[in-house]
Amino acid sequence: DAMVIQNPRYQVTQFGKPVTLSCSQTLNHNVMYWYQQKSSQAPKLLFHYYDKDFNNEADTPDNFQSRRPNTSFCFLDIRSPGLGDAAMYLCATGRDRTYNEQFFGPGTRLTVL
């Protein structure tokens, strides 16, 4: 089945230690999104790629970076995680600019010690 995969499902890191979260998709979608979701809150968009075009949200901290080496993969890098970065990180894909539906992966739950 075509899907969005996130690895790992659970990630524990230490305060200030860089961490990378991975997302892959077999849907061949042009758009890939990264959301941060804190407990009992709505997902908050961090950035998205349309193909190779990177689009950062205005209020996304510089601590968060992303890479998309090819259509299938997208990475979220947190350069120096703080305690406030502990959250669920959701990756989603979208077919193209004219189609709004997003397909989500299972998420990575990040713990910062």
Partner 1 sequence: AQKITQTQPGMFVQEKEAVTLDCTYDTSDQSYGLFWYKQPSSGEMIFLIYQGSYDEQNATEGRYSLNFQKARKSANLVISASQLGDSAMYFCAMPVDSSYKLIFGSGTRLLVRP
Interacting residues toward partner 1 by CB under 8 A? 31, 33, 40-43, 45, 48, 50, 88, 90, 92, 94, 96-107, 109
Rounded Cα gap, residues 54 and 32, in angstroms: 10
Two structure tokens written together for 56: 């950062």
Distance in angstroms between the alpha carbons of the first and the last residue of the chain: 36
Residue 52 beta carbon to partner 1: minimum distance, rounded to whole angstroms: 16
DSSP 52: T
Residue 26 beta carbon to partner 1: minimum distance, rounded to whole angstroms: 16
Helices first, then strands: H and E counts in the chain? 0, 11
Residue 4 beta carbon to partner 1: minimum distance, rounded to whole angstroms: 9
Instruction: Rank residues 16 and 108 by Cβ distance to partner 1 and give the closer one.
Output: 108
Instruction: Rank residues 12 and 16 by Cβ distance to partner 1 and give the closer one.
Output: 12
